[in-house]
Amino acid sequence: MNDDQTKVMSLRLPNDLAAEVKAFARAEEVSVSEAIRAAIYRHIATRRADKRFQAKLKERLEEDLQALEQLSGGIEGGEY
């Protein structure tokens, strides 16, 4: 993975979960970072396939769009 395509993030885990992740990564013969990335990818894929999640996501996007449209009210024509 190219460093230009990554973002460093901090993650706090309870000690017992951190130990499980470390043991899992060792058993899979991957780095802890790779084990966590894979788990995140799987979680996102599962949520994307969930119809209820998709409905909540659409609702949040519509709310965000409405807020952005309200904020941009004075920007047209270079007004700030």
Tell me which residue range forms the domain holding 69: 13-75
State mean pLDDT over 7-22.
96
pLDDT at 16 over 80: yes
Average per-residue pLDDT for the chain = 91
The number of domains in the chain is: 1
> Global pTM?
0.70
59 is a domain residue: yes
In a domain, 2, yes or no: no
Query: If pLDDT is split at 50, 70 and 90, which confidence band does 20 have?
Result: very high
Indicate whether 44 belongs to any domain.
Answer: yes
* For residues 18-38, average pLDDT: 97
User: Could you tell me what percent of the chain has a pLDDT over 90?
Assistant: 78
Q: What share of the chain is helix, strand, coil (3-state, %, to 5)?
A: 75, 0, 25
* Whole-number Å distance between alpha carbons of 7 and 13: 19
